[in-house]
Amino acid sequence: MHSITLVQGLLLAILAVIVGIDFWLEALFLFRPIIVGTLTGLILGDLQTGLIAGGLTELAFAGLTPAGGTQPPNPILAGIMTTVIAYTTGTDPKTAIGLALPFSFLMQYIILFYYSSFSFFMPKADKYAEEANTSGLIRLNILTTAIVAISYGVVVFLSVYVAQDLMKILVKSMPVWLGHGFEIAGGILPAVGFGMLLKVMMKGQYVPYFIIGFFIASFIPFSNLLPVAVIGAALAIYEYFNSKNKLVKNEMMAMNGDDYNEGI
Amino acid sequence: MKESKRVLTKKDITKLGLLSSFLQASFNYERMQAGGFTVAQLPFLKKIYKNDKKGLSEAMTDDLEFINTHPNFVGFLMGLLLFLEENHEDRAIIKGLKVALFGPLAGIGDAIFWFTILPIVAGICSSFAMQGNALGPILFFSVYLTIFLLRIVWTHLGYNLGTKAIDLIKTNSQIISKAASILGITVIGGLIASYVHINVVSKIAINAKHAVSLQTDFFDKIFPNILPLGYTLLIFYLLKKKNVSPVILILTTFILAILLSFIGVL
């Protein structure tokens, strides 16, 4: 059992501001739980917990991406809170993922609110464009980014510093089956992420590759997924040249109009 | 062809590649990335239009129209469009190219960055981190720093390709997305087997001495990881065919896990 000091709370808030801007812009990917968890661990002076919590959370969130303009449960709050809860309460990081989830949803909804409400800034932007007022448009963009950044700082400071006693009481009063349930949920949760990935990517023609990947990982015990990735890359390169050849053939057929009728 | 009047230097294009990172600075549902898209190009539009306030205003107005593309590849589009602005091409061409390209670029970008690179890099780096090895996050950061710096390369590529770019994208985008999808799908298959854990602890008592463990004597004998695969495919089905929201699926998974833990099945 540890407590978060005021300095640690402020440092975590600053961390949240920085990685919050990074997530808003999708720039350096510092916002991923594996980085956020590690940095949180460093601030708390418990790198090991940060690494383990960050790694676990990263996997659970690997499929929850903002691709196509959708906003997933917030990876920053998940990374910070999983680490903080594991550190302050001594719970297993696997269990802590579940306890961190409400914070992650909270931030997700705040960002969704901004996505909608920032639409109201656009008429102003149009006016700046009409006047060719470049500094006005720059100011507007800085303002929106600053609103997001400050929100991250405030939410994280309140969550880690102000609400930490509440969290401890919650964890202490938790029955065994509930803790175990959280741990199990942590193990199954990646399925939702992978389901999301499949939803946007899966087509009938890709089923063989899915089966190959699943089989290799099920039957070759190895500490990471590199073998699967290498085989996947081989298949991708094969398909690339295959498709390219077909394209060249089609183009040749199109050029020689006479041959077209003889084909197939 | 109009005469080329170069006002942008190589250094400008490098700067554009870095500034392209502001793409989502004022992201909103109405125009998506339009605000940041315009702001990133402003220093260079100013250089091109100088005292032509009307020209600058027209360019800004066009850029403020709806756009939703990929932050990693948008530099390519900005480089290309600024090349056209620099040559004072027809506004309709500039607008048309933008609208034609931002969608495919988003598709390729999502397939490559979110659905291929992220699962692979996250899977490998997390396995290090979970063993308490700092190599995990360090490796992760190095990969993404490289990807970030490549934005400068894409921007130069877009600028240099000029009008040829549209042909390149159109002929190759489908093949590139397809190859990337194949790699991604293979890895997702592997991820499911490695990272989704469902372990049934229930045993069926046959007599006083013997009990059949559902997990080791039944599921594992049929096929290892059959439950993780089955549950993931169920989620996939609900997302795709029933349009269930991911948040509901996460909550349901949670409640189900706790419930099954309470009655002692998992």
In this prediction, residue A28 carries a pLDDT of 95
| DSSP secondary structure string for all residues of A184-246 | HHHHHTHHHHHHHHHHHH--GGGHHHHHHHHHHHHHS--SSSHHHHHHHHHHHHHHHHHHHHH
For the segment A101-114, what is each residue's pLDDT rounded down to a tens digit? 888 888 888 888 89
For the segment A219-257, what is each residue's pLDDT rounded down to a tens digit? 887 666 778 888 988 998 998 888 888 877 877 777 765
Is pLDDT of A259 > 60? no
Give the gyration radius of chain B's Cα atoms: 25
The answer to whether the Cβ–Cβ distance between B250 and A192 falls below 8 Å is yes
Is pLDDT of A116 > 60? yes
In this structure, what are the phi and psi dihedrals at residue A27, rounded to the nearest 5 degrees? -95, -75
A224 in contact with chain B, both atoms CB, cutoff 8 A: yes
A128 in contact with chain B, both atoms CB, cutoff 8 A: yes
Is pLDDT of A76 > 60? yes
Residue among B119, B190, B258 minimizing CB distance to A185: B258
A212 vs B185, higher pLDDT: A212
* pTM of the full structure: 0.77
How far does CA A208 lie from the centroid of its chain?
27
Residue among B25, B54, B186 minimizing CB distance to A145: B25
- Tokens at A44, concatenated: 């708390």
Give the gyration radius of chain A's Cα atoms: 24
In this prediction, residue B171 carries a pLDDT of 66
- b/e map B178-187, b = 16+ CB within 10 Å: bbbbbbbbbb
Provide the chain B residues 35-54 that lie in CB contact (below 8 A) with chain A.
35-36, 38-39, 42, 46, 53-54
pLDDT 10s per residue in chain B (266 long)?
444 568 899 999 999 999 999 999 999 877 889 999 999 999 999 999 999 999 999 999 989 988 888 999 999 999 999 998 998 887 877 877 787 678 778 878 887 888 888 888 998 899 899 999 999 999 999 999 999 999 999 999 999 887 565 566 556 767 877 887 788 788 888 888 887 888 888 777 777 777 778 777 778 877 888 999 999 999 999 988 998 887 788 788 888 988 998 888 88
- Tokens at B123, concatenated: 């899977």
The answer to whether the Cβ–Cβ distance between B188 and A217 falls below 8 Å is no
Provide the chain B residues 160-199 that lie in CB contact (below 8 A) with chain A.
171, 174-176, 178-199
Q: If you average pLDDT over residues A69-96, what whole number do you get? A: 89
Residue A1 CA to residue A15 CA, distance in Å, equals 23
Max CA separation in chain B (angstroms)? 93
- b/e map A124-139, b = 16+ CB within 10 Å: ebbebbeebbbeebbe
In this prediction, residue A247 carries a pLDDT of 77
Residue among B29, B115, B256 minimizing CB distance to A200: B115
Q: If you average pLDDT over residues A63-83, what whole number do you get? A: 81
B137 in contact with chain A, both atoms CB, cutoff 8 A: yes
Q: How many CB pairs under 8 A join A and B?
A: 370
- Tokens at A201, concatenated: 């990517």
Nearest CA in chain A to B179: A236
In this prediction, residue A264 carries a pLDDT of 44
Residue A39 CA to residue B140 CA, distance in Å, equals 13
Residue among A213, A239, A244 minimizing CB distance to B187: A213
At position B120, the amino acid (one-letter code) is: I
Residue A96 CA to residue A99 CA, distance in Å, equals 5
